[in-house]
Structure 1
Amino acid sequence: MTRVLVVDDELLTRQLVRTVLEANDYEVLEAADGATALDLVASQHPDLVLLDVAMPGIDGIEVCRRVNGSCKVVMLTAHDDVATERASRDAGANAFLAKPFSSVELIDRVETMAGA
């Protein structure tokens, strides 16, 4: 079973993503901040991280940089602009998904990344 870490400081976003992923047979871990995300990446070894850009403390760009290829990263963000996407890719993100997104878009992106 593919293990996905969902990192977002918004509880509702984490809950919605968890619901969609679990309905599609993914194992889901959650983190509300960058520090917890880094701890979970190190201890739980997720296959994929869905990572919000704007979070208090360690932001998503820095988390992505520190993950450094140990798993695939999809940036989830309301900041749908070229600069944010470029910064995400420069930090090592494998893909970018702008909020709001549909459950179909989410599953499509997760399936693509999990199978890649």
Structure 2
Amino acid sequence: KETTKTASYWGIVIAGFGLTGVLFYAIFNELFSSKSPNSVYGRSLERCLNEPRIKDALGEPIKGFGEETRRGRRRHVSHLNYERDGKKYLRMKFYLQGIRQKATVHLEMM
């Protein structure tokens, strides 16, 4: 009886480690993968901020942000993963705002 109890505790501990591993993998994949939406947004925003035509049109300083909530808070960048002809694509939309104008950025990548 004591052996069964000990084995069940070990099973719970091993399941907990497994779940923790899955969570760490998901977080690492989302934040640090080169194809994650956050990574794509960061690289795209950097390209936009370094583009002279965008600087001229919007005025500096320029800031980038995602969708706004009803309270006016800026949240995540809108994105959609989809597959077409066996290839995976990412479609994304975010906003830029300078002192003169606002802009919407639409991007699509394989």
Q: Shorter-chain TM-score category?
A: under 0.3
Q: Please identify the structure whose Cα radius of gyration is greater.
A: 2
| Larger strand percent | 2
| TM-score in terms of structure 2 length | 0.27
| TM-score in terms of structure 1 length | 0.26
